[in-house]
């Protein structure tokens, strides 16, 4: 069925989560002529992929691959997007669910805002930016990220001077389109006749909930220790350093970078699983950093290399041979700094048991992937089971099924995985959902 032609009287599908997995599932279903309602918690769709600079295994530009999918999803006549929204209640069963959605007020009129940016420029507030973390501050009226879809501003009520101190309203004064609406209310939306649901709410990283584990490695104690996701933002042309990697302490270009693997996972009793993508993305980050400066030395401190995908092992070898990356099988004891704030990695070399030190200019932590915030509530609302680490439980031989009929899953919400696998699973989940909706 061609795009835009909706099956008459048919049931719709609900996709929860607008990362790459949710987007792919929605597009597949919509192209089959099935109406999709997509619910995304953040102001914009795109998920974590929007934060990445390049993506392994091809090292293509992440936003260049993602952006066409974002606009296709937003403009597709068979997809209704509820951004800045959450699913509150689900009733019914396989083939016939009803769903209550809370659409949060942005305090900006969606059909008036043209994302000109004047309000953001004039907003006096500076707050921590969730997208770029400790690297940049954003304003209280903001776009979640530059290329975000839908391209509409959002007022963060918790930091806006009008909501906190009854003052300011500068954004309202400078908006020529009169798009600011401080009276806007949250909306309740009810969907009925939902045939099937796909949960694609992705992942969080350990630093999102617990900086204590990272502080043991000097994070937020030493300025030249950053997380891998922050390093993606440093590498990115649209990031806070416009793609010129510099140290946070003095703005100098690093000449030696250490990458520390398995931070918060595998050693830790509560998170014994492997985050599965870090060996690959670390090599990718070291390769891209080398492309910025080909005198760079990179050191990867690892427990063992897990590169189990097509061409993945040769990717690691390419890193070693062509990008000046040294892989050190080791156990990290601690990180300290010298008087120039250079991180010093103290480690046990597992090849010979010796305790050694390496002084570098910058250290990058590959932090543990954890289930997304609010997963317990989501599992209650949907009536689906979680596994021992609170990822969605799936049966051993079908990674798209959940414990409840008619509810499917894809992407990192059930286990850490890379983008290619998230996309293939999304197509699998979409096919299963379509089967329910069309009655086999």
Ligand X SMILES: Cc1cc2nc3c(=O)[nH]c(=O)nc-3n(C[C@H](O)[C@H](O)[C@H](O)COP(=O)(O)OP(=O)(O)OC[C@H]3O[C@@H](n4cnc5c(N)ncnc54)[C@H](O)[C@@H]3O)c2cc1C
CA 47 to chain centre: 4
CB of 357 to ligand X, least distance (A): 26
Which residue number, 180 or 366, has a Cβ lying nearer to ligand X?
366
Instruction: Give the nearest distance from C-beta 169 to ligand X in angstroms.
Output: 29
Length of the chain, in residues:
440
With respect to ligand X, which residue has the nearer C-beta, 205 or 437?
A: 205
Cβ neighbours, 10 Å, residue 311: 11
Report the distance separating Cα 229 and Cα 131, nearest Å.
10
> Which alpha helices (DSSP H) does 175-236 contain, by range?
206-209, 211-215, 228-235
Least distance in angstroms from the C-beta of 119 to ligand X: 23
Residues in CB range of 398: below 8 A, 6 or more apart: none
Closer of 320 and 418 to ligand X (Cβ): 418
Backbone angles phi, psi at 273, to 5 degrees: -80, 165
- Pick 131 or 162: Cβ nearer ligand X: 131
- Closest CB 404 distance from ligand X, rounded Å: 17
- Give me the sign of the Cα torsion angle 428, 431, 436, 440: negative
Contacts of 153 (CB under 8 A, 6+ apart): 106, 108, 113, 115, 119, 120, 141, 142, 143, 179
| Shortest reach from residue 225's CB to ligand X, in Å | 15
Residue number with CB closer to ligand X (56 or 299): 56
In angstroms, the CA 21 to CA 416 distance is 12
Taking phi over 0 as left and psi of -120 to 50 as alpha, with beta for the rest, 192 belongs to: beta
Half-sphere exposure of 35 (CA within 13 A, CB side): 14
| 123 vs 200 by CB, closer to ligand X | 200
In the bound complex, what is the minimum distance in angstroms from residue 260's beta carbon to ligand X? 13
Cβ of residue 353: shortest distance to ligand X, in angstroms?
31
CA-CA distance, 45 to 24, in Å (whole number)? 12
Nearest approach, Cβ of 380 to ligand X (angstroms)?
Answer: 12
If the CB atoms of residues 191 and 419 are measured against ligand X, the closer one turns out to be 419
Q: Which is nearer to ligand X, 11 or 284 (CB)?
A: 284
Q: Kindly list the residues in this chain that would bind ligand X in the complex (CB under 6 A).
A: 16-22, 39-42, 47-49, 52, 55-56, 86, 200-203, 205, 228-229, 232, 277, 281, 284, 372, 374, 378, 411-412, 417-420, 422
Return the SS3 of 360: coil
């Amino acid at each position: 069925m061609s795009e835009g032609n909706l099956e008459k009287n048919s049931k719709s599908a609900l996709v929860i989560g607008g990362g790459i997995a949710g987007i792919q599932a929605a597009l597949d279903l919509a192209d089959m002529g099935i109406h999709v309602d997509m619910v995304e918690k953040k102001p914009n769709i795109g998920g974590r992929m929007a934060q990445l600079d390049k993506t392994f295994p091809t090292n293509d530009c992440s936003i260049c691959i993602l952006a066409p999918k974002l606009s296709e999803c937003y403009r597709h006549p068979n997809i209704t997007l509820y951004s800045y929204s959450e699913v509150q209640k689900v009733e019914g069963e396989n083939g016939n669910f009803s769903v209550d959605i809370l659409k949060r007020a942005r305090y900006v009129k969606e059909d008036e805002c043209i994302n000109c940016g004047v309000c953001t420029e004039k907003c006096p507030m500076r707050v921590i930016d969730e997208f770029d973390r400790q690297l940049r501050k954003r304003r209280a009226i903001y776009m979640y990220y530059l290329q975000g879809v839908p391209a509409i501003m959002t007022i963060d009520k918790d930091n806006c001077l009008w909501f906190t101190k009854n003052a300011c309203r500068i954004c309202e004064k400078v908006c020529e389109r009169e798009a600011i609406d401080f009276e806007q209310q949250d909306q309740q939306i009810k969907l009925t006749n939902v045939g099937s649901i796909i949960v694609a709410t992705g992942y969080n990283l350990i630093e999102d909930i617990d900086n204590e584990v990272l502080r043991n490695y000097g994070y937020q104690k030493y300025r030249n220790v950053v997380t891998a996701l922050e390093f993606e933002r440093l590498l990115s042309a649209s990031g806070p350093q416009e793609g010129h990697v510099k140290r946070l302490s003095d703005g100098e270009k690093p000449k030696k970078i250490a990458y520390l693997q398995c931070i918060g996972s595998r050693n830790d009793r509560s998170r014994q699983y492997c985050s599965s993508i870090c060996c690959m993305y670390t090599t990718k980050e070291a390769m891209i950093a080398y492309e910025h400066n080909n005198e760079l030395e990179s050191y990867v401190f690892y427990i063992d290399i897990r590169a189990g995908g097509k061409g993945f092992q040769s990717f690691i070898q390419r890193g070693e041979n062509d990008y000046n990356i040294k892989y050190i099988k080791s156990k990290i004891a601690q990180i300290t700094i010298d008087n120039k704030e250079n991180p010093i990695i103290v480690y046990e070399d597992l090849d010979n048991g010796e305790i050694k030190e390496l002084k570098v200019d910058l250290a990058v932590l590959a932090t543990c992937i954890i289930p997304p915030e609010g997963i317990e509530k989501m599992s209650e609302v949907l009536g689906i089971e979680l596994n021992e680490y609170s990822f969605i439980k799936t049966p051993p031989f079908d990674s798209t099924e959940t414990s409840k009929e008619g509810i499917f899953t894809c992407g990192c919400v059930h286990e850490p995985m890379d983008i290619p696998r998230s996309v293939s699973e999304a197509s699998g989940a979409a096919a299963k959902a379509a089967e329910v909706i069309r009655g086999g």
